[in-house]
């Protein structure tokens, strides 16, 4: 019985990770020149992973479409990852990834 419950809870944990939504931790702020955008990097969306970065930038593009700023596109001028929880043997750490962009 214990083994079945343990397996069930393990599967639930995997499902929760698969459904994690980057938009819940995102912050978007229009500025005079363009925008500031912050999102999270963690074990699910690692800080230097190409697919995770693609998903963070897709969320940024959605913010830009939703707000109507930068109708001619934008140029990213800065990307900086700040550690909130250091990586260790069981975690890739948690980072705030800050982006600054200017409208074209």
Domain map of the chain by residue range? Answer: 21-103
Please say if the pLDDT value at position 1 is more than 80. Answer: no
pLDDT bin (cut points 50, 70, 90) of residue 95 is: very high
Task: Give the residues across from 94 on adjacent strands.
Answer: 85
Provide the whole-model pTM.
0.74
3-state DSSP helix/strand/coil % of the chain, to nearest 5: 40, 35, 30
Strand ranges of the sheet holding 34-41, from the earlier edge strand across to the other edge: 27-30, 34-41, 94-103, 74-85
As a whole number, mean pLDDT of residues 35-48 equals: 93
pLDDT bin (cut points 50, 70, 90) of residue 16 is: very low
What's the mean per-residue pLDDT of the chain? 83
Locate 11 and state its tokens.
């599967």
Please say if the pLDDT value at position 81 is more than 90. Answer: yes
């Amino acid at each position: 019985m214990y083994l079945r419950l343990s397996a069930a809870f393990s599967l639930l944990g995997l499902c929760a990770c698969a459904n994690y939504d980057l938009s819940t931790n995102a912050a978007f702020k229009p500025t005079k020149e363009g925008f500031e955008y912050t999102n999270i990097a963690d074990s699910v969306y690692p800080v230097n992973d190409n697919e995770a970065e693609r998903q963070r930038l897709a969320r940024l593009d959605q913010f830009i479409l939703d707000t109507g700023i930068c109708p001619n596109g934008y140029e990213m001028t800065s990307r900086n990852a700040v550690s909130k929880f250091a990586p260790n043997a069981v975690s890739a750490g948690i980072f705030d990834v800050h982006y600054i962009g200017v409208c074209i």
